[in-house]
Structure 1
């Protein structure tokens, strides 16, 4: 029988699963696998990142963008340790991926050897499945199992390979049976649950929808549901893009990063159709007495964030379609009318700044260019920080556009690795990395990777010289002196040029537009350093339009409070002021720091 190195057997399994590229950075303990990568050079592409964390984040981004798992690797010791951030990103966002981790030779384990630690124990918490090969013959078996477990358990799987096993010869007799691995095929709802849902919809005065990433394949059904039953749609941040941002009934993301209307509408509903959403911040929203129809494929999620009246263990697409077919069309509720008007007021207010000549430049002029210039199938790799606020409110996703970010783990530095992934798996599509100067500084070395592989990526760095998201927390939530959030300006265009990437610094909308046009005419990567406003985004958490100082700070003279629309369309007073679960019965004179909802963005 033909013999094959253990590491070659590993790579053969990966290739037979239809995976044709791998992210990583070499190390001595990974030599056998680097040899296998060389042997497979005509079949598999090796993306050599400049830091193992970037490789792990890139692998996590792969499933988010394609529905197909990514693979990364790290060598023993520090190479392995650098993978953790990407693994936790995948674990938090329920993203299948596989990490191959090298270990020192078996004869050198457990004797305080160079770069050796108990890898299997450390990786248990960062993964949904973790095994170390005990023999070379186990390597292809465990590789296949890692891929299966990652898909089945929706998270990162880790296989640890001691250096000596990777070189050992084994029989080349393992065959992948990936066709037996079924694609997601979730059940339809029961007839009884559909009938109960229809009954609640008929009885409700002001129903709404709250969607998450679990509704990503049900965009048409979400829109059809909203149109038939006149339900304003709100989403988690990861639910952005399920429907196009310009869809009239879509209020946007609830919470501090979202627009004003979503935050206001959620507090006035009496029925929430809760679809594929497990945002941990959901416990802070919606009236306690609101009824909930919850649709999810994971029964552990029912009632986790809010009490549930109807639980539908079903595919979002199938469940929504069943309710649409069974239910009676509703007329527009007072809340629906108020919500539409509230959103229109917000949109008009934002649009009023799109040609502003304020210096440093405001967000609206820059994002107006992004919306106009981005291809209809562009991919946006979005970092973490105030760029999430701006993208949530100002990026108008449509057509076949895709986007990705670090959701629940919310790690700064995600944008550059995700852009590597987008350029690798969609080489013919336009890729935009959108990052603040804080997050970009953490992974800026990956410009070298983009240059090396001539990736057509437009890297936009919003330089506002602050960790803006944390600054807003310190100002608005913990009410403390600014501490550790101010960062020095940097010439990111010069940094880019030093890494063989075209770099441009801009300060106006016209300069930015010209730079984008230049990128569209060239090959390879480019970086645009936007010298951005230091002002914080509008605070939807405070939303104090009755406070002249607040109105002046955010130039919000044209914004109207929700009570204006509620009164105009006859929304009952208790609904218009409906207390969400996070609101206090009386304001505190000296608010205590928020120690519950706020978290560092990385």
Structure 2
């Protein structure tokens, strides 16, 4: 055993380093001084990223885990700092990514005396954490942290370690405390037997309007799925976490509700067989209960089979391996009419979006903003998108390839996630272009951390779409037929605020400013500095897909609006005179074939 002694918190950082942790997000505090001392010891091997709010630190750690698939680490002080982290920790829990939270505590000899900022912190984290421990002595500190990391990876969730400040200063033997493996063994899943494939294909053949509903478990197998989709003539619908993973003609269900595309909404109204491939759809209770259909689910998580809808066939398997197994089986195209009609429907909706994007009108429309983002982005750009109308707009208008990445708060849906996500993205992938996209409400919650971008020279394009309104909630209130209340925001000069933090910033109020200002933003970030674009946009609502419904009448599909207005008048109200309904396209394709 080594006779060399080191502070226990330094030994803990050695454990983190062995697990390939590079960044710790947090804010210093008196109850964390032993950790700050250790970070100073190890500053050449691990980075302390000083954020201006613990919520930002926890959200950045969560985003880093989503982007890299490695554990993210954040820390907060005893009491208020611990509580501030909860938002980001719940985001990690709900999106199933591994995050370690290190929480300060009063010195051990002051515990249970109602000492300053001394709280029973373990109960605070009991719901969010899969592993929640307070360190009892210095010798066990690195072991507890090592175990916490293992638990976070095992459960793809949050682990919390609470450390009384004095224990981190105590010197312990300098030896190996980590159990980090040199290689990660890929988990194995049950073998996919031929009879399972045959049962799947039998159900597909019996269906008239099947659809794939795909989530993030598809990983980098998007091209294989497209091949299977074309082979079986089954359209692909993705949830928000799979955006960018599948090339070609796919439609976005997003996270449902107002966020869905027109085509996805139509598919959910007409399908008689949903094939879920690694999808975890938060609004399944609403969308899956629209009408009866058969349900096949392929998922890595055995305990999630049948969780969102009663099963007709549940397959515990890796979706990629399942796709490969089906492709090996000789199958023929089956659903040509439905598939061809849906592809035309997707193309028609894409043409509508393009029409909105190139309009030269004032006030500025969100589609015009996303057109500029798409224009200056590249095939490796990372987009960190906040919650609200930008969630809707990014799912509908953001063009992504299989090498792009999108990070957002998918299930917890916490506002204020875009700047933390962009910080994590740029630290993890310094040579890739990064956007932070937020509305004025969400941006206001974390805008102080623009200075973090400047401090660490993180060249991020920060786009703020400003319309002095919580537009997403305003749309909800409109659907409830209530008077608008509480949705008006007092305007702020975000460009002036950013300049006060030393960040270059420009306000855009006219369509004519968009192109050259986005070009400037690209040049500024290429020169190594962040920039903020305060883009004043219209608060005009995008086409509300949830008002559209399809039902059968005399054996044929009919699409209507829930207010009984003429369908094409409804489309025209949202500049969609060229839009066609899926029933129209089904009839058109059928006529062409006869």
Cα distance between partner residues in 2 of 1:71 and 1:510: 43
CA shift digits 1:84-111 (9 cap, x unpaired):
0000000010111111111111222222
Whether 1:237 and 2:240 are equivalent positions in the alignment is: yes
Matched, 1:553 2:573: yes
Alignment of 1:334-483 (within 5 A): 334-476=337-479, 478-483=480-485
Aligned ranges 1:258-337 → 2 under 5 Å? 258-286=260-288, 288-337=291-340
Equivalence for 2:588: 568
Q: CA RMSD in A?
A: 1.7
- Aligned match of 1:535 in 524, 537, 540? 540
Q: Please point out which of 256, 259, 278 is paired with 2:258.
A: 256
Distance in 2 of aligned mates of 1:224 and 1:206: 18
What is the alpha-carbon distance in structure 2 between the residues aligned to residue 518 and residue 568 of structure 1?
A: 46
CA distance in 2, matches of 1:439, 1:177: 40
CA contact (8 A) 1:141 1:174 kept: no
8 Å CA contact 2:238–2:250 kept in 1: the answer is: no
Matched ranges for 1:9-408 at <5 A? 9-179=11-181, 182-187=184-189, 188-244=191-247, 247-250=248-251, 253=254, 254-286=256-288, 288-408=291-411
Per-residue CA distance 1:386-411 (angstroms, 9 max, x = gap): 00000000001014111100011000
Offset at residue 250 of structure 1 (A): 3.9
Long gaps (5+) in structure 1: 572-602
Query: Which residue of 499, 523, 529 maps to 1:497?
Result: 499
Count of aligned residue pairs for this structure pair: 568
SS in 1 for 2:136: coil
SS in 1 for 2:267: helix
How big is the shift at 1:112? 1.5
Distance 1:375 1:548, change over 3 A: closer
The answer to whether the 8 A contact 1:382-1:433 is kept is yes
Tell whether the 8 Å contact from 2:364 to 2:538 is kept in structure 1 after alignment: yes
Provide the C-alpha distance between the structure 2 equivalents of 1:239 and 1:266, rounded to a whole number of angstroms: 17
1:332 deviation in Å?
Answer: 4.1
Q: Is the 8 A contact 2:460 2:529 kept in 1?
A: yes
Structure 1 residue 370: Cα displacement:
1.0
Map Cα deviations across residues 161-189 of structure 1 (whole Å, 9 max, x no partner). 01111111111223323226734423242
Specify the SS of the correspondent of 1:493. Answer: helix
Cα distance in 2 for partners of 1:372, 1:259 equals 22
How far apart, in 1, do the equivalents of 2:458 and 2:379 lie? Answer: 19
C-alpha displacement at 1:447, in angstroms?
Answer: 0.3
Runs of 4+ aligned structure 1 residues displaced above 6 Å come to none
* Segment drifting more, 435-444 vs 306-315: 306-315
* Aligned mates of 2:498, 2:514 — CA distance in 1: 17
Q: Contact conserved, 1:240 with 1:252, CA < 8 A, in 2? A: no
Q: Name the CA distance, whole Å, in 1 between partners of 2:425 and 2:510.
A: 28
Q: Does the aligned pair in 2 maintain the 1:133–1:139 contact within 8 Å? A: yes
CA contact (8 A) 2:146 2:177 kept: no
Task: Provide the rounded CA distance (Å) in 2 between the counterparts of 1:375 and 1:324.
Answer: 32
Deviates more, 1:419-428 or 1:344-353: 344-353
Describe the superposition over 1:477-515 as per-residue Cα deviations: whole angstroms up to 9, x where unpaired: x22111111112221111110011000011234422212
CA distance in structure 2 between the aligned counterparts of 1:420 and 1:249, rounded to whole angstroms: 30
Distance in 1 of aligned mates of 2:69 and 2:481: 42
Contact preservation (8 Å) 2:461, 2:532:
yes
1:289: how far off?
3.2
Partner Cα distance (2:276, 2:330) in 1: 17
**Structure 1, residues 8-49: CA drift from partner, whole Å, max 9, x if none?**
111111011111221110000100110000000111111100
Give me the whole-angstrom Cα distance separating, in 2, the residues matched to 1:57 and 1:570: 50
- Residues 232, 251 of structure 1: 8 Å contact kept: no
Q: Would the aligned equivalents of 2:440 and 2:464 in 1 still touch at CA under 8 Å?
A: yes
Q: Tell me by how many angstroms 1:539 deviates.
A: 0.1
User: What is the Cα deviation at residue 251 of structure 1?
Assistant: 5.1
Deviation at 1:158, TM superposition (A): 0.7
Supply the distance in 2 between the matched residues of 1:251 and 1:325 (Cα, whole angstroms): 28
Q: Secondary structure at the match of 1:518?
A: helix
Residue in structure 2 matched with residue 586 of structure 1 by the alignment: none
Q: Aligned partners of 1:166 and 1:328: how far apart in 2?
A: 62
Cα shift readout 1:190-224 (whole Å, capped 9, x = no counterpart):
33322211221222222210011222232122212
| 1:36-67 Cα distance to aligned partner (Å, 9 max, x none) | 00000111111100001100000000111111
CA distance in 2, matches of 1:235, 1:249: 7
Deviation at 1:331, TM superposition (A): 4.0
Q: How far apart in 2 are the matches of 1:17 and 1:58?
A: 18
Determine the C-alpha separation between the residues in 1 that align with 2:312 and 2:184.
Answer: 32
Shift of 1:72: 0.7
| 3-state secondary structure, aligned to 2:101 | strand
**Which has the higher mean CA deviation after the structures are superposed, 373-382 or 185-194?**
185-194
Q: Are the aligned partners of 2:364 and 2:536 in contact in 1 as well (CA < 8 Å)?
A: yes
